[in-house]
A and B are shown apart, each in its own frame.
Chain A
Amino acid sequence: MGQLSRFWRESEHRYRLLGTRCENCGRVYFPPREVCPTCHRESIGKMKDLELSGEGVIESFTVVHEAPPRFSRQKPYVLALIKMEEGPMITGQIVDCDPSEVEIGKHVHAVFRRMGEDGDTGVIVYGYKFALD
């Protein structure tokens, strides 16, 4: 899983879906960015934290059968792109349903979930997944 600090650093963004909003153009980004890809230097110092609502729509999805070892216990799992109501798109799993229930255009909401652990004794990592409304 790697160094603890690598996951701790992003925990606020992952736990609360904390992104950024460019105060120059109003666009919202997740994951957070220091510089707005539209406004470039005009955005420096104007990227402010914004907590996403967690509400979104399924842009597209797949059911993953061949996965890295860390995900082998979850196979097959649904991975999707979710278009969030604030604008940004997020890559995340859709859980708590049968894969056959998942469709393009269905509404989902973010849920707080265990993402993995560093072996039997290491740190447990948490983050966001999505569930059908």
Chain B
Amino acid sequence: MSEVYIIGAGETKFGELWDKSLRDLAVEAGLEAIKEANIYSRDLQMLYASNSLAGTINEQSNIAALAADFSGIAETHVPAVRVEASTASGGAAVREAYLAIKSGEYDVVMVGGVEKMTDIYGSEIIDVQSSILDREWESFNGATPAALAAITARRYMHDFKVPREDLAMIAVNDHANASMNPDAQYRNKITVDQVLKSDPVAEPLNVFDCSPISDGASAIILASDEYRKKNRLDGIRIVSSAMSEDYLALHSRKSIYTLESARIAAKQAIDRAGIKKNDVSFLELNDSYSIYGLLELEDLGFAEKGKGNELLGEIKLGGSLPVNPSGGLKAKGNPLGATGVSQFYEAYLQLKGKAGQRQVKGARYGMLHNMAGTGATSVVHIVGE
């Protein structure tokens, strides 16, 4: 089976991009990736489009055909399919592309993730976001993704005596890193005090604990090792890929503060890569809510349950385990379908030494975790030089 490389990556700025449509964003990221890979769009053999909620937010389905069409490749008749796994769509789409190349079917494919979330009003987007939960037995009763994260946070802090400030540190770290990322939605630094004093969303979580509503797109080009060598293309390697599921509803899980899907996927990814967790140079976490940052440090295998906060001194750039050099979901932004793909964009820059001010020195392996909702789906990839 061929090794799989990322030979190019592109993305739009993340944020409230009023002047850009769903298709504008998809095309912009895709073309940048093609250019960076130094190939032509007609070279692509397959397109995977990652998107979570365009059917509801933008009233547009068949995203893959739309993206292929407006990328100018309709007449090349390249097959295209949308991958939807809620907020883990991006990671899931990359995994499908990775498996397709591993299978020998294709040599060069694109994965493009896009979400255009600001085409709907504020409180309505909360309802649409809540559709990724169990609609009949969670959101029907008033649950939102933020509310369930808050319920998890309260019990976690209660059982392990974790101070509220420790959750805030995850957001503070994201903003510090995002200040060095020109694509990030929020480039301002924040303090723990600001997080604690921001408006409540679902107690104990405040606005600054929560990832924002974002527009954005990210795209990467994957190629087999043979294709890469034949065409003398540079790239980074997808070392391993793993995915796992858990109960859809939080109330059905064995523990409300253990991300079992993340735990299993991370263990498989590490085992398949044949590396040790200490070999990981940086983490990109799915911290859609600050509490998940702490839980992920634990369930991805870097800390014992309830002790994720012991790593808080190490997560900044320059620490022993840099977390979210991109700025993470809180500060780089969280355009759902694009989020998981954008983790690969960051890894591409980091492993090629092109991340500028936020470069992780000597980066060799990155672990990328993309998660759906409250932990129903986790996709973990390890990427390396």
Contact partners of B204 in chain A: CB under 8 A: 62
A81 to B158 Cα, complex, angstroms: 15
A104:B155 contact, CB within 8 angstroms: yes
A91:B143 contact, CB within 8 angstroms: yes
The contact of A81 among B123, B126, B199, B251, by CB within 8 Å, is: B251
Known A-B contacts A10-B136, A70-B127; the reply to A59 vs B200 at CB < 8 A is no
Residues 111-129 of B at the A interface (beta carbon under 8 Å)? 123-124, 126-127
Known A-B contacts A65-B199, A68-B130, A80-B151; the reply to A127 vs B141 at CB < 8 A is yes
Q: Please encode chain B, from 269 to 286, with 1 for each CB lying within 8 Å of some chain A CB and 0 for all others.
A: 000000000000000000
A89:B130 contact, CB within 8 angstroms: no
Residues 18-52 of A at the B interface (beta carbon under 8 Å)? 31, 37
A69:B158 contact, CB within 8 angstroms: no
B127:A91 contact, CB within 8 angstroms: no
B256:A67 contact, CB within 8 angstroms: no
B203:A63 contact, CB within 8 angstroms: yes
B225 to chain A, nearest CB (A): 40
Known A-B contacts A89-B252, A91-B251; the reply to A72 vs B123 at CB < 8 A is yes
- Is A66 an interface residue when CB atoms closer than 8 A count as contact? yes
B206 to chain A, nearest CB (A): 9
Contact partners of B127 in chain A: CB under 8 A: 68-70
A70 to B201 Cα, complex, angstroms: 16
B142:A79 contact, CB within 8 angstroms: yes
A54 to chain B, nearest CB (A): 15
A80 to B138 Cα, complex, angstroms: 10
- Is B146 an interface residue when CB atoms closer than 8 A count as contact? yes
B141:A68 contact, CB within 8 angstroms: no
By secondary structure, the A interface counts as strand
B142:A66 contact, CB within 8 angstroms: no
Contact partners of B124 in chain A: CB under 8 A: 68-69
Known A-B contacts A72-B123, A115-B140; the reply to A62 vs B256 at CB < 8 A is no
Q: Please encode chain A, from 1 to 18, with 1 for each CB lying within 8 Å of some chain B CB and 0 for all others.
A: 000000000100000000
- Is B164 an interface residue when CB atoms closer than 8 A count as contact? no
The contact of B202 among A64, A72, A92, by CB within 8 Å, is: A64
A62 to B154 Cα, complex, angstroms: 8
Contact partners of A76 in chain B: CB under 8 A: 200
A81:B256 contact, CB within 8 angstroms: yes
Q: Which residue of B lies closest to A104 (CB)?
A: B158
A105 to chain B, nearest CB (A): 9
A92 to B134 Cα, complex, angstroms: 13
- Is B302 an interface residue when CB atoms closer than 8 A count as contact? no
A64 to B143 Cα, complex, angstroms: 9
A61:B123 contact, CB within 8 angstroms: no
A62:B147 contact, CB within 8 angstroms: yes
A77 to B200 Cα, complex, angstroms: 12
A21 to B289 Cα, complex, angstroms: 35
Contact partners of A60 in chain B: CB under 8 A: 151-152, 154-155, 158, 256
- Is A112 an interface residue when CB atoms closer than 8 A count as contact? no
B154:A61 contact, CB within 8 angstroms: yes
Known A-B contacts A64-B202, A68-B126, A80-B151; the reply to A59 vs B141 at CB < 8 A is no
A55 to B249 Cα, complex, angstroms: 21
A61:B144 contact, CB within 8 angstroms: no
Contact partners of B154 in chain A: CB under 8 A: 60-62, 104
Known A-B contacts A62-B154, A91-B137; the reply to A67 vs B251 at CB < 8 A is no
A66:B202 contact, CB within 8 angstroms: yes
A62:B150 contact, CB within 8 angstroms: yes
A62:B142 contact, CB within 8 angstroms: no
B141:A79 contact, CB within 8 angstroms: yes
- Is B250 an interface residue when CB atoms closer than 8 A count as contact? yes
A26 to B138 Cα, complex, angstroms: 24
Known A-B contacts A31-B136, A91-B251, A92-B141; the reply to A66 vs B151 at CB < 8 A is no
B126:A62 contact, CB within 8 angstroms: no
B202:A71 contact, CB within 8 angstroms: no
Contacts from B to A (Cβ < 8 Å): 123-124, 126-127, 130, 136-144, 146-148, 150-152, 154-155, 158, 199-205, 247, 249-252, 256
Contacts from A to B (Cβ < 8 Å): 10, 31, 37, 59-72, 74, 76-77, 79-81, 88-93, 104, 115, 127-129
18 new A-B contacts, CB < 8 A, other than A65-B201, A67-B142, are: A59-B155, A60-B154, A64-B144, A64-B146, A65-B199, A65-B200, A67-B126, A68-B124, A68-B127, A68-B130, A74-B142, A79-B151, A81-B251, A91-B138, A104-B155, A115-B140, A115-B141, A127-B140
CB<8 Å pairs between A and B, sample of 19: A37-B247, A59-B256, A61-B151, A62-B151, A62-B202, A62-B203, A64-B146, A65-B203, A66-B202, A77-B142, A79-B141, A79-B142, A79-B151, A80-B151, A81-B151, A81-B250, A90-B137, A90-B251, A91-B249
